Structure 1
Amino acid sequence: MNMKIANNENVDLKELALMKINFGDKLLELIEDFKDIEGSQKLYRKIGQELKFLKKAYKNNSIKKEHLQCSNLTHFSALIDTLKDVKTCQSINKIFTLEDRKIHVDIISDNGLTWIKVIARNPKSLSQICLGNGSYGVKSIIDQAEEYVKCAKLYPCLFQTPKIVFVFSNGIGSHIAAKLESYGITVKGDRLSDSPLNFDGSSESDESDQDDYMLQSPTNTADLSTENISNISKVNLDVSAMLAYCSSVTNGSAELLDFDVPVLKQQAEWERLRPQKPILDAVFEGKTLYCCETARDNFLNIVDTVGGPSEKVRAHQLLNRLIVLPDDADFRQTENDHKSHKIFEKVQYSDEKKLKPGGKIKERSLIIFTFGDQIQAVTVTANDGFVRAAKQQGIHFVVFIHESRALTEQKEKIRAIPLNK
């Protein structure tokens, strides 16, 4: 059962509202088939609340297009459609606690061994949120998957961790589906073509750390770099910058090889168009290079795990050029003069301006960016998702944004194709 709101501006809103109300009334009738299931009455009340609001707005002639587009009735309809296909359902809208958060599980079946989440959202919208382009506080489907996996482990049933199923009633991008499956989640719904996000769909655990830095959108990032930073003599390297600098693809292989891995193929094409090593060398020239201990340790872990022989040599050469300071260092511990730059007076990260982790604000990245702010350095990074998310919370870090590049040397042995000149 499904209902979509037409985008034709000529369609009368009151007519659409009446259709939506009738749609909701039918949902209430369908709920009767599941009245013996725990939580069904709660679902009945939620649908009733939606209808009460719509009926009141309809009666008062105050209905708006947003009321129809943002209604939860579409989600409830998808949930009921899923219920029809589920055998041995025990509960609807069950709530579990994960640390200080509540995790809502739409359907619990198979005597508690299966948790089902129903997603009726537009697949394009899901992809945009995964790229960090959603509103502040909106969690991506990947973030929700991580929470579900953690939560399920805390609530075993019959000595087993419940199986997790995500049902996408309107379909899901194939790359997002692959990422969800790498967490052990069963994905149901039409697979749609989409662009690679910040992962390549690989489920190999030894590459998961590098996946965090494989950000795939080089467009619309120029506006993120801070203006007038040429007079700042300190540079803080994010892990993404170190990876890009040492990658085989930025050190010549892009001119020789192509890849059958979509993310790496795309990066090689970008590298041939816009080589990143000269850009980074220009940023580093005449500057003192810093990184924090967290960045160094994370970088070395990735290099040791997925780096090739030449990439490992370049990684250690780069680290020899860096000054590594504790995560909590400030500008007084740097070798440069202790003069405070005015640009940092406007953005200084402090107890009064705390970022809230979640979504694109990962704890590891927060440490690295805060370190750059504390030592008053320009943070060089490809993590545009973090920078955008921070701006949404009112924090404008001093940054230079470049395109991401992954370590590729190991993949060149098995997944590369000689480039025909």
Structure 2
Amino acid sequence: MEKVEAAKRRCEVVIERISSANINHLCKRTLFKLATAELSFLSRLTLPDAAAPLSVNIGHLEAVLYILQQPFITAVSRVCKPLSLSSGIGNEQKIAPSLKGIHVDVVCTLNKTPVWIIVSDRNPRYVSWHEGHKSKGLKWRIEQVLVAARSTQTLRPSSIILFFSNGLVDSIREKLEGEYGALELELKFTAFDFDFDDSEELEGEWVNVLVRSYKDACVLEIEVDNTTNSISSFKHGVKDSIQDISSPKLEEKNANLNLGDSFCSFLSSMKFCVESTKAEDLSGEEDVINFDTTALIAIVSGISNGSIEKLLAVPECKLRQRFKGNYEFVIEQVMSEIKNPIHAELNGMISGMRGMICESVLREFKELISMCGGPTEKCRADHLLKCLMVVPDSPSERMMELPTTRKLALKNKIVFGSGDYWHAPTLTANMAFVRAVAQTGMSLFTLEHRPRALTGD
């Protein structure tokens, strides 16, 4: 009975920590459902059952939650749910003729690259390579996952990450390396105590009794396609043609043009592109952010740049006439800016980074500024564009494979897909599109900002 009570306490800890996990509400709901189901199962055990060997799933959920809490894990779109595969599997159908979906523990972005993560919490001595009386074997599982990964374009990961929370015996590791080219993934994991470090083996299963420790964990990466940049093959030190300098004479121009101190500070925190910079120089770089139109508008908007008092001094009737149906939307942004200035928020995301935009964003931004921007907003826009790299529209193949719908508009697929192609997160306030992509199961690396409107300042 003591083991049952310990397992129940672990369930309660996991349930408590799910709420603080940095994942979307659908993933939280899945984890919560699994953890509460495990707790319900343990609560129903009678004394005679409790005396029997105890096999629990809570260790697996602990390991999944541990992964989700790591800072390098972003854009989580699926947790502990099967992925449906809409496309056929071609010649690989011989391996798994009935494969229509695959169970993946975590679908996410790891260091800006889409991955699938498979988690094993088993005692490493009981991880079998070939089919046995209790499982079909690790080799069969890997074959299934690789077939599934190669059968889909939209959900296709760059790599399969294998996380063995209790480690892996040398013989299995050698087979993974020899047959699938698995490489150890060097990741700096942050420690999260689950207040439970001992473990006990019961009938081939690994049952954790007290504080969880992942010091023996083994993390391996298997590339899905050799032509895809894997996490471990990302190279640092690509020739850097971006100069880490402040905006040339921006302070002097601000004094003459009143661009705004926070705007100048924001630009000064970025890296800037020199004329020789080419799009190819972005390949493998980790300090690039893709801006969509909403982000550019927010940066140059009068609301973000000191025009709040001027706006609030205008009578409400005139403001309603000026902004028409957008009046409440604009006032909400004004209140938001008073509470949390957006440039200070964006500085934390963009400091030391370099910005890129695709040609579609450039055209749309210029049109909006021309139609709705005031003289100072137009001036800010000119200075901002000089600090950004403009790349051709180059949406990733997987993004373009998504169906074009009202929620998945083509223009947004081009903008976000261009960021995805260059492994750059897209800074956006367009969360409706981000949610629509997540609902397809695709992991897309984005950064959210609060919206701002042009004021004609």
Structure 2 length normalisation: TM-score?
Answer: 0.34
Structure 1 length normalisation: TM-score?
Answer: 0.37
